[in-house]
Amino acid sequence: MNIGKFFFKYRSYTPLPFLILMILYSNPNIYSMIFGFLFVVLGEFIRIWANSWAGSETRTTGGVGGTFLIVSGPYAYVRNPLYIGNVIIYFGLGIMSNAVFPYLQILALVYFFYQYYEIVKEEENFLKQKFGDEYKDYCSKVNRFLPKFSKYENSKIEQPEFSWKKGWQSEVRSIQASLSVIAILVLIWIIRRV
């Protein structure tokens, strides 16, 4: 199994070492909690918006795939908004914890960008084979990870139906995981203040 396929299959578990270190060495304060929480909310919003277009297909772990070439919503500005949302959430949780700041946060950013780079290479191979020239045109106008301010539009590419409900339903597990970590950090912060 190549590294991209490995990361794709186990991407739900790869944050665990960072989360454990973050909790063990956490030193939250009111400023880190508020500032970090704003990043978490932003990341979750991006993920819900993206999943409102992509739906539950983003939850597969067996292999790379997809029914549609989604170029609407956040995908019109950046090709991988779900991964951008993840990085922002992890960064926000890291700030909230204030653990070994800023070294753990920087290490996590570098690691997750590498992981997502490898995953995206796998996904791009699939998308090139399935969508051909449409995908090549999309790639030529929309960046992988750095959002553009200009919106990509191509009315010839069929899009799934947009649904906030679908986005929320697809995102329930991620929201629960984020809230669990936030609850632990709030508890640590309260205990250290007493």
- Domains assigned to the chain: 3-193 (1.20.120)
Classify burial at 183, counting beta carbons within 10 Å of its beta carbon; exposed 0-12, middle 13-18, buried 19 or more: exposed
pTM reported for the whole predicted model: 0.93
At 110-133, the pLDDT tens digits run 999 999 999 999 999 999 999 999
Give every CB contact of residue 7 below 8 A, 6+ residues apart in sequence. Answer: 14, 115, 116, 118, 119
At 62-91, the pLDDT tens digits run 556 678 999 999 999 999 999 999 999 999
